[in-house]
């Protein structure tokens, strides 16, 4: 009788574990389905846009163009600043040469 009780207990535990696993799998499947439902409209929109030859990023173009213009403006400003720095460096070198010549000429050797 004990062995039958042990077997029944073991079977009951296995059945309970299978039930829990089934519930876990069902919950995971529900989350997966929810994600598919959530992502599906966006995917459909992109697929439709690609199939009809439209740019999926067309809505981003105005903002993208504004950002590109800002980048171009910053690059131009950097180039201008660099040119100004090079010019200033040449002027400083020339001023240094003009200043040190009389001092070197007057210095005893």
Structural domains of the chain, count: 2
Looking at the structure, tell me whether residues 52 and 64 fall in a common domain.
no
d(CA 34, CA 27): 11
* Containing structural domain, residue 89: 59-109
The pLDDT value given to residue 49: 62
Q: Scanning the structure block, which residue is given the tokens 């079977």? A: 11
Looking at the structure, tell me whether residues 38 and 85 fall in a common domain.
no
> Under the phi-then-psi rule, with left for phi > 0, alpha for psi from -120 to 50, and beta for the rest, what region is 49?
alpha
Each residue's pLDDT, cut to its tens digit, for the chain (109 residues) gives: 457 677 778 788 888 888 888 888 777 777 776 766 665 666 666 666 666 666 656 556 666 677 788 888 888 888 889 888 989 999 998 888 888 777 677 767 6
């Amino acid at each position: 009788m004990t062995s039958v009780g042990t077997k029944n207990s073991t079977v009951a535990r296995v059945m309970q574990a299978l039930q829990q696993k089934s519930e876990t799998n069902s919950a995971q499947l529900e989350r997966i389905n929810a994600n598919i439902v959530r992502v599906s409209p966006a995917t459909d929109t992109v697929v439709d846009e690609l199939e009809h030859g439209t740019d999926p990023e067309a809505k981003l173009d105005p903002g993208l163009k504004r950002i590109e213009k800002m980048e171009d403006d910053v690059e131009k400003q950097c180039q201008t600043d660099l040119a100004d720095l090079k010019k200033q460096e040449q002027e400083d070198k020339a001023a240094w040469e003009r200043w040190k010549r009389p001092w070197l000429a007057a210095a005893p050797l």
